[in-house]
Chains A and B, each alone.
Chain A
Amino acid sequence: MIQHLLSQLPALQVVLPLVAAPLCVLLRRGNAAWTVYAATTAATFAIAVVLAMRVAADGPVSYHMGGWAPPAGIEYRIDALNAFVLMIVGGIAAALAPYARRSVAAEINGERVYLFYCLLLLCLSGLLGIVATGDAFNLFVFLEISSLSSYALIAMGAKRRALLAAFQYLVMGTIGGTFLLIGVGFLYQMTGTLNMLDLAARLPAVEDTNTVRAGLAFIVVGISLKLALVPLHLWLPNAYAYAPSAVSVFLAATGTKVAAYALIRFLFTVFGAGYAFGTLPLGEILILLAVAAMLYGSVAAIYAADAKRLLAWSSIAQIGYIVLGASLATAAGLTAGILHLLNHAVIKGALFMALGALFWRVRGSRIDDLAGLGRLMPWTCAALVAGGLGLVGVPATAGFISKWYLLEAVLAEGRGWLAAAILASSLLSIVYIGRLIEALYFRTPAAHIEAGEAPVGMLAATWLLVAASIGLGLYATPAADYARAAAAGLLGGGP
């Protein structure tokens, strides 16, 4: 019985939130829906951890959906990289549960709270599906599930601008999804298969055709839209800034990470590093865009008047680091990129949580609204500072580790100017985090705000992620080893 259940874990991972979502609607009560959300996310995180342990012990796990053998049937394939990203997404979703209860109650109309959790579960299910599946078309379907629910979640923001932000994201997201569909169609036309491993086996025979090259281009552009890689980032600042706080946390910590995963999966597993970065000059293009993202995102963050928008621009810069690591196409670069996937998810999750907790008290997220809160809400603001230092990459935080790995990878390639760009972007991040610190600690608070912390659940979740960020900074070896194993798997050596 237990053994049977264990063998179903790859499917359960995705099916559980998918089934729990309509359950929330049936219950129709905010508190009951929250309980369902908390239980489901705890279970999916536990499943992700068990899966990761199995992958580490026995190598990749393959699950045949409905008992149909691949490549005809849909395969769920969990290797070191999937398991890693599943743990990130599951972990963030679970950590969000104690946070969301009070935050959502304060920001969402009471009658709609159960719908909010339903959408959040659907979005989670879609993200987990993207990561778990080994089928290119299945990935498109899950991408749309997660996107559709995130458009609706963003539209639940309190300001009316959230509606236009959601609409603009919908238009750009649908273009991205459709581009992916075209690309997958081209590959299918040439190979007659949709299974990723089967595609990888059959593509070399036809790779010297314009159809495959166009397919690669469509897939990269489509995913880059979801990833918000400069210059396809226009939807992101508004979407993050006007979404409810809990949604900003969830999307910033998981949404773009999963898109980065999808990009890495397509480039390295389906097309192969030799084709994407050797035969075609994709590496140079992506490196240029990544550097542009790192610098432009950081500069834009400095000029942001709204703290949520500041963090959103900083996300765009951080996505640049991940893409830069991956597009070096070396083991060291990929390791750094995958490691930054985790570290940025934790750090940005913590920062958006802390900001949401401040928003809970002052009902505003403009930097002027945050003036002087350092004295009124010391713990929340300390979390914001600790997260900010992680973003800058101060030693003993997670951000330092991944930036260090990235610098090493870049210097090993002998590309000094890339190292200079990384350092410049880090210096710029000191400026924008400094702006937050200046507002929090060196200004007088508005008279009408009373001292007092955010609710304990919100604070606990925030500090959990801050602690995780510091923990990952101090004990970097396990995560780094795991990322190295995942990178080795992608480049065709090791498991």
Chain B
Amino acid sequence: MLDTFVGLYNYWIVIVLMMIGFYILIGHDNLVKKLIGLNIFQTAVFLFYISVSKVRGGTAPILTEGDPTYGHPLPHVLILTAIVVGVATTSLALALVVRIYEAYGSVEEDDILELDRDRDSGA
């Protein structure tokens, strides 16, 4: 029982972070807050990959004298790529939010939908 919670603590952290991010994404109307949620959600997955690569008693994956035990470097590299993708997504999304704010004068999803609805009924 204790093992499930303490021994696998990295997975619990990942799951909690992921759900926090997902909840912000779904629960908030503010587009910027949605993005923050999306980022937390993605970061949780990055943490998952990184923690999986850890080898108990292992060092950083650098070639040295002798034959040391080292952590698996491949997930680090994969996640570097995924972080770049995440940065690109965030910057594109923020650019969209700026344009949305210019066009509607609001970043609240409800207000924006309301503005479009008014226009439909007016036209």
Contact = CB atoms under 8 A, between A and B. Distances in A.
A166 B88 contact: no
B25 A171 contact: yes
A141 B100 CA distance: 27
A54 interface: no
Contacts of A161: 116
A170 B112 contact: no
Given A160-B103, A167-B31, A185-B48, A178 B42 contact: yes
A222 to B, nearest CB: 11
A244 to B, nearest CB: 15
A182 B92 CA distance: 22
Interface residues of B, number: 29
Contact of A166 (B41, B49, B96, B104): B96
A189 interface: yes
Given A141-B81, A151-B96, A185-B52, A164 B42 contact: no
B105 to A, nearest CB: 11
B13 to A, nearest CB: 15
Interface hub of B96, B97, B112 (most chain A Cβ within 10 A): B96
A148 B97 contact: no
Interface in A139-196: 140-141, 144, 148, 151-152, 155, 160-161, 163-164, 166-167, 170-171, 174-175, 177-178, 181-182, 185, 188-189
A148 B25 contact: no
B48 A167 contact: no
A170 B96 contact: yes
Given A185-B48, A189-B52, A170 B41 contact: no
Given A170-B93, A188-B75, A181 B99 contact: no
B82 interface: yes
A181 B82 contact: yes
A170 B45 contact: no
A163 B49 contact: no
Given A175-B41, A181-B45, A185-B48, A163 B99 contact: yes
B78 interface: yes
B92 A152 contact: yes
A137 interface: yes
Contacts of A178: 41-42, 45
10 contacts: A141-B85, A155-B96, A155-B99, A164-B112, A167-B97, A174-B42, A175-B41, A178-B42, A181-B45, A189-B52
Interface string B98-123: 01100110000100110010000000
B104 A167 contact: no
B76 interface: no
Given A137-B78, A175-B41, A189-B52, A167 B100 contact: yes
B38 interface: yes
A293 to B, nearest CB: 23
For the complex of A and B, 6 pairs with smallest distance between CB atoms: A160-B103, A144-B85, A163-B100, A167-B96, A163-B99, A189-B52
A164 B100 contact: yes
A150 to B, nearest CB: 11
Nearest to A182: B45
B90 to A, nearest CB: 9
B93 A167 contact: yes
B59 interface: no
A182 to B, nearest CB: 5
B14 to A, nearest CB: 9
Interface of A: 137, 140-141, 144, 148, 151-152, 155, 160-161, 163-164, 166-167, 170-171, 174-175, 177-178, 181-182, 185, 188-189
Interface hub of B25, B85, B116 (most chain A Cβ within 10 A): B85
Nearest to A151: B92
A148 B96 contact: no
B89 A144 contact: yes
A167 B106 CA distance: 14
A189 B112 CA distance: 43
Contacts of B104: 160
A177 B92 CA distance: 15
Nearest to B93: A170
Given A137-B78, A163-B103, A185-B52, 17 more contacts: A140-B82, A141-B85, A148-B85, A151-B92, A151-B96, A163-B96, A164-B116, A167-B93, A167-B97, A167-B100, A170-B93, A171-B25, A175-B38, A177-B85, A181-B82, A185-B45, A188-B75
A69 to B, nearest CB: 16
A160 B103 CA distance: 6
A144 B93 CA distance: 13
A134 to B, nearest CB: 16
Contacts of B112: 164
Contacts of B103: 160, 163
A33 B99 CA distance: 25
A160 B105 CA distance: 12
Contacts of B45: 178, 181-182, 185
B93 to A, nearest CB: 5
A459 B25 CA distance: 43
Contacts of A167: 31, 93, 96-97, 100
Interface in B60-94: 75, 78, 81-82, 85, 88-89, 92-93
Contact of B49 (A170, A171, A185): A185
